[in-house]
């Protein structure tokens, strides 16, 4: 005589399998979301860092060929301490930073670095034919810039600090860079 055996899942076994699968899926989704947020945060931080590095290099290259600080932008130790720190800076420099012609002012440009109304860090290069405008750091990073002269420092050394704020879903991060630059042909301090 043969005994019949039935194989299959009971209701309890089926419920346990569904619960275990749900826990595994929830863990996988949480891991995916965490990884995605970290990747996005690192990409934004890297992008802001690249924009700051580009802006700093742009300022450094143009200040090397500066011939005159524009009126109202010199930093004076005798005035209030606020005059030693500016959020904008304008000077006259060579139009072609790789071809410096100290005795020829016809190819010079007026360079201005500032924050515009949209919060972008901007460069305006102006000559008699027009204005060239370039965004150096995007406004979504809420950039800040400070041009300063350190008292007792050489008169033609300018310190530039640029910051950017990155806001991602979970945390805020600030990326910053500070550098001293020499204006070879002019003094930033009077």
For the chain, what are the domain ranges?
Answer: 38-182
pLDDT tens-digit readout, 67-105: 888 887 777 665 545 556 778 899 888 888 888 777 787
Q: What are the distances in angstroms from CA 46 to CA 51, 122, 160, 170, 171? A: 9, 20, 20, 17, 15
Query: Are the C-beta atoms of residues 31 and 147 closer than 8 Å to each other?
Result: no
- Average pLDDT on 51-80 reads 82
95 or 178: which carries more pLDDT confidence? 178
**Closest to 186 (Cα-Cα) out of 17, 67, 36:** 67
What is the distance between the alpha carbons of residues 175 and 163, in angstroms, rounded to a whole number?
6
């Amino acid at each position: 005589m043969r005994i019949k055996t039935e194989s299959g899942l009971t209701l309890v076994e089926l419920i346990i399998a569904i619960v275990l699968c749900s826990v595994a899926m929830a863990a996988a989704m949480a891991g995916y979301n965490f990884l995605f947020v970290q990747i996005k945060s690192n990409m934004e931080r890297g992008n802001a860092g690249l924009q700051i590095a580009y802006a700093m290099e742009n300022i450094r290259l143009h200040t090397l060929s500066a011939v005159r600080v524009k009126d109202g932008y010199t930093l004076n130790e005798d005035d209030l301490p606020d005059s030693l720190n500016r959020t904008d800076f304008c000077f006259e420099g060579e139009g072609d930073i790789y071809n410096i012609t100290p005795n020829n002012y016809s190819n010079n440009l007026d360079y201005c670095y500032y924050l515009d109304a949209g919060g972008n860090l901007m460069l305006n290069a102006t000559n008699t034919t027009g204005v060239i405008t370039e965004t150096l750091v995007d406004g979504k990073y809420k950039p800040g810039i400070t041009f300063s002269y350190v008292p007792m420092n050489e008169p033609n050394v300018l310190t530039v600090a640029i910051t950017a704020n990155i806001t991602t879903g979970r945390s805020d991060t600030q990326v910053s860079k500070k550098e001293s630059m020499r204006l070879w042909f002019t003094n930033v301090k009077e």
